[in-house]
Amino acid sequence: MRSSECWSVLSFVLLTGAAAFKISRGPSMDHSEITQMAILDVTVRTCRSLAEAEGRDFVFHPLSLTVTCVIAACDAAESTKSFQIAIKLIQRKNKRVDIRRLFNAAYHFDDETFEDGRKVITDGLAIIKASNKLDNFKAAREKLGEITHPLQDFYSHSNWIELGKEIPNNNLITVGTNIGNIDLARPTCQNCVGNDCTNNILEDIIRDQILTTGYFDAILSSKPAGKCSHGGRFDQTSDDEPIGGINKDSLTANHGHLHNAAARLAIDATIQLLDDIRGAAGDTDFLRMLGISKGSNKALCFVIDTTGSMADILAVKAVTASIIDTKAGTRDEPSLYILVPFNDPDFGPLRRTTDPNVFKTWLSALNATGGGDFPEMSLSGLQLALTGAPPGSEIFLFTDATAKDIYLKDTVITLIEQTKTVVNFMLTGSFRFSFRSLLANNGHNMSWTNQMSSPESQLYSELAHYSGGQAIEVSKDELSEATSIITESSAASLVTILQAVRSPGKDESFSFSVDESVRNLTIYITGNVLNFTLTSPSGVSQSTNSPNESLATVKVVGNFRSLQINPTVGIWEIMLLSTNPYSIKVIGQSGIDFLFDFVQFFQGASEGFDVLENRPGAGGNGTLLLTLTGSDSGTVTDVSLVEASGSGEVNGRMETLGGGEFLAHFDTIPSVEFVVRVKGKTDSRSKASTNDFQRQSTTQLKASTLAITSVSENIIVPGTLFLVPFSVMTGDVGGNFTIQATNDRDFISSFPDSLVLADGGSANGTVTLSAPLNTPSGSDVTLTIQVEAPGGADTNYIVQRFSIVNTVTDFQAPACRLIRLRGDCSLNCSLSAWELVVDVSDQSGVVRVDIKRGNGTLNTAVVAVGSGGENTTRVSYAASCCSPDVELLAVDGVGNVGSCPFSINDNPSTAALSTGTTLSLSYLIWVSLGLILVYQA
472 and 526 co-located in one domain: no
Q: What is the mean pLDDT of residues 917-921?
A: 38
- What's the pLDDT score for residue 867? 67
Confidence of residue 732 (pLDDT cuts 50, 70, 90): confident
Is 542:572 a contact under the CB 8 Å cutoff? no
State the CB neighbour count (10 A cutoff) for residue 589: 20
Question: Cα–Cα distance between 393 and 390 in angstroms, integer?
Answer: 6
- Listed in sequence order, the residues at least 6 apart from 915 whose beta carbon sits closer than 8 Å to its beta carbon are 818, 819, 820
145 and 265 co-located in one domain: yes
What is the domain count for the chain? Answer: 6
Question: Residue 323 sits in which domain range?
Answer: 298-491
Q: What is the mean pLDDT of residues 473-496?
A: 77
The answer to whether position 933 is within a domain reads no
pLDDT over threshold 50, residue 77 = yes
828 and 790 co-located in one domain: no
Confidence of residue 686 (pLDDT cuts 50, 70, 90): low
Question: Cα–Cα distance between 350 and 342 in angstroms, integer?
Answer: 10
Q: What is the mean pLDDT of residues 909-928?
A: 33
482 and 513 co-located in one domain: no
The answer to whether position 610 is within a domain reads no
Q: What is the mean pLDDT of residues 312-332?
A: 77
Confidence of residue 11 (pLDDT cuts 50, 70, 90): very low
Question: Cα–Cα distance between 611 and 447 in angstroms, integer?
Answer: 54
- What's the pLDDT score for residue 741? 94
- Listed in sequence order, the residues at least 6 apart from 262 whose beta carbon sits closer than 8 Å to its beta carbon are 19, 21, 155, 156, 160, 161, 248
637 and 714 co-located in one domain: no
| Mean pLDDT computed over every residue of the chain | 84
Q: Which of 245, 266, 289 is the last residue of a domain?
A: 289
CA-based radius of gyration for the chain: 30
Question: Cα–Cα distance between 787 and 753 in angstroms, integer?
Answer: 10
How many residues does this entry show for the chain? 937
Confidence of residue 431 (pLDDT cuts 50, 70, 90): very low
DSSP assignment of 47-90 equals: HHHHHHHTT------TT---HHHHHHHTT-GGGHHHHHHHHHHH
- Please state the pTM of the whole predicted model: 0.82
Is 698:420 a contact under the CB 8 Å cutoff? yes
List C-alpha distances in Å: 676 to 116, 440, 638, 644: 43, 47, 11, 9
711 and 624 co-located in one domain: no
- What's the pLDDT score for residue 907? 41
The answer to whether position 212 is within a domain reads yes
Assign residue 226 a region: left if phi > 0, alpha if psi is -120 to 50, beta otherwise? left
Question: Cα–Cα distance between 37 and 931 in angstroms, integer?
Answer: 10
Of 292, 265, 264, the residue nearest 278 (C-alpha)? 292
Confidence of residue 571 (pLDDT cuts 50, 70, 90): very high
- What's the pLDDT score for residue 446? 37
The answer to whether position 598 is within a domain reads no
The answer to whether position 695 is within a domain reads no
Q: What is the mean pLDDT of residues 152-161?
A: 97
CA angle 684-690-694, nearest 5°? 95
Question: Cα–Cα distance between 49 and 44 in angstroms, integer?
Answer: 9
- The three-state secondary structure class of 459 is helix
- What's the pLDDT score for residue 926? 29
Question: Cα–Cα distance between 189 and 209 in angstroms, integer?
Answer: 14
CATH of the domain at 881: 2.60.40.10
Share of the chain above pLDDT 90, in %: 46
Pick the more confident residue, 307 or 584: 584
47 and 129 co-located in one domain: yes
574 and 636 co-located in one domain: no
Q: What is the mean pLDDT of residues 348-361?
A: 88
pLDDT over threshold 70, residue 3 = no
The answer to whether position 937 is within a domain reads no
Question: Cα–Cα distance between 426 and 475 in angstroms, integer?
Answer: 10
| DSSP symbol at 704 | B
Confidence of residue 604 (pLDDT cuts 50, 70, 90): low
- What's the pLDDT score for residue 308? 64
The answer to whether position 692 is within a domain reads no
Of 381, 419, 320, 394, the residue nearest 585 (C-alpha)? 394
**Of 310-324, 675-689, 741-755, 920-934, where does the model show the most confidence?**
741-755
Pick the more confident residue, 541 or 11: 541
pLDDT over threshold 90, residue 285 = yes
Beta strands in 730-843 (DSSP E): 735-743, 748-750, 754-757, 762-770, 779-788, 795-804, 815-823, 833-842
- The three-state secondary structure class of 231 is coil
Pick the more confident residue, 893 or 723: 723
Question: Cα–Cα distance between 402 and 378 in angstroms, integer?
Answer: 8
406 and 308 co-located in one domain: yes
The answer to whether position 600 is within a domain reads no
Q: Which of 556, 572, 590 is the last residue of a domain?
A: 590
- Listed in sequence order, the residues at least 6 apart from 859 whose beta carbon sits closer than 8 Å to its beta carbon are 875, 876, 877
Pick the more confident residue, 350 or 806: 350
| DSSP symbol at 390 | P
- What's the pLDDT score for residue 155? 97
Q: What is the pLDDT of residues 432-480, one digit of tens each?
A: 333 333 333 443 433 334 444 455 568 998 999 899 888 888 877 777 7
Share of the chain above pLDDT 70, in %: 87
pLDDT over threshold 50, residue 624 = yes
**Of 224-238, 430-444, 447-461, 605-619, where does the model show the most confidence?**
224-238
- What's the pLDDT score for residue 868? 66
- What's the pLDDT score for residue 931? 29
pLDDT over threshold 60, residue 913 = no
Confidence of residue 615 (pLDDT cuts 50, 70, 90): very high
- Listed in sequence order, the residues at least 6 apart from 598 whose beta carbon sits closer than 8 Å to its beta carbon are 611, 612, 616, 622, 623, 624, 625
- In which element (H, E) is residue 728 found? strand 721-729
- What's the pLDDT score for residue 146? 95
Return the amino acid letter for 748.
Answer: I
Question: Cα–Cα distance between 99 and 191 in angstroms, integer?
Answer: 30
174 and 48 co-located in one domain: yes
- What's the pLDDT score for residue 124? 93
- Listed in sequence order, the residues at least 6 apart from 534 whose beta carbon sits closer than 8 Å to its beta carbon are 523, 541, 542, 543, 551, 552, 563, 565, 572, 573, 574
Q: Which of 245, 262, 289 is the last residue of a domain?
A: 289
- What's the pLDDT score for residue 404? 86
Question: Cα–Cα distance between 65 and 57 in angstroms, integer?
Answer: 19
856 and 870 co-located in one domain: yes
DSSP assignment of 161-218 equals: TTTT--S--GGGGSTTS---B--TTS--B---BTTB-TT-B-HHHHHTTB--B-B--S
69 and 174 co-located in one domain: yes
- The three-state secondary structure class of 97 is helix
Helix, strand, coil percentages for the chain (3-state, nearest 5): 25, 30, 40
